């Protein structure tokens, strides 16, 4: 396709004719929408949806909060790295990762070698509004969860910014709208997604 030719327009809610060459890895803060947008993006591309947290829970036969409580954060991060490595090698698809996964340099390198990272760039207020009523976030089980989230946000954003692609999320766009935004940035990466 020449530079003057335009890539096909994406029609909301319809499948996109394409061939996935690398796994698309959704990264970002808890509450950014990695699972919801990732699942919808996978459906639109007609590829498998994978979730590293779900795979870790299935392997351990425990929930993430139970793993954190029983084995600690370091153990969880080790298992997370193993699962992400395995999923990136086993099949191509859309992979949703936990909020802390992309903080590890080793994980970032594995993802860069075998996939493309897409940062769902939600601001602090958006993420807080999505997580404040849930008790399934072990890192937020503190006396001041809003401040804890703010501290995590400040520490993590510079690392998320290392992602290959950035998709802004202002909390006003539907899941399908976020998929459209993700597809627009993916059009810039023919090494990942071949449009037919």
Classify each residue of 27-60 as buried b or exposed e, where b means 16 or more C-beta atoms within 10 Å of its C-beta: bbbbbbbbbbbbbbbbebbebebbbbbebbbeeb
**Nearest CA-CA partner of 94 in 43, 137, 156:** 43
Burial label, 139 (beta-carbon count in 10 A; 0-12, 13-18, 19+): middle
31 appears as a binding residue in the annotation: yes
177 appears as a binding residue in the annotation: no
97 appears as a binding residue in the annotation: no
99 appears as a binding residue in the annotation: yes
155 appears as a binding residue in the annotation: no
58 appears as a binding residue in the annotation: no
Residues 116, 183 contacting (CB under 8 angstroms): no
35 appears as a binding residue in the annotation: yes
The full length of the chain comes to 196
Q: What is the largest CA-CA distance in the chain?
A: 57
77 appears as a binding residue in the annotation: yes
Distance, in Å, from the CA atom of 187 to the CA atom of 170, rounded to the nearest integer, reads 21
32 appears as a binding residue in the annotation: yes
Radius of gyration of the chain (CA): 17
Distance, in Å, from the CA atom of 132 to the CA atom of 3, rounded to the nearest integer, reads 45
156 appears as a binding residue in the annotation: yes
Which residues are annotated binding-site positions for Mg(2+)? 35
Which residues are annotated binding-site positions for substrate? 53, 77, 99, 156
Which residues are annotated binding-site positions for ATP? 31-36, 137
Which residues are annotated binding-site positions? 31-36, 53, 77, 99, 137, 156
């Amino acid at each position: 396709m020449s530079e003057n030719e335009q890539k096909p327009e994406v029609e909301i809610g319809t499948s996109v004719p394409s061939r996935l060459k690398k796994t698309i890895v959704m990264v970002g803060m808890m509450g950014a929408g990695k699972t919801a947008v990732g699942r919808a993006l996978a459906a639109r591309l007609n590829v498998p949806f994978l979730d590293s947290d779900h795979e870790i829970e299935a392997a351990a036969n425990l929930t993430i909060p139970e793993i954190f409580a029983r084995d600690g954060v370091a153990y969880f991060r080790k298992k997370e790295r193993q699962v992400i490595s395995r999923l990136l090698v086993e099949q191509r698809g859309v992979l949703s990762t936990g909020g802390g996964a992309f903080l590890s340099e080793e994980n970032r390198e594995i993802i860069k070698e075998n996939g493309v990272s897409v940062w769902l760039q939600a601001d602090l207020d958006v993420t807080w509004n999505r997580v404040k009523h849930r008790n399934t976030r072990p890192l937020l089980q503190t006396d001041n969860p809003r401040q804890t989230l703010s501290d995590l946000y400040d520490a993590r954003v510079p690392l998320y910014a290392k992602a290959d692609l950035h998709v802004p999320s202002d909390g006003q766009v539907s899941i399908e709208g976020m998929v459209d935004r993700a597809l627009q940035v993916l059009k810039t990466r023919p090494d990942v997604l071949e449009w037919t």
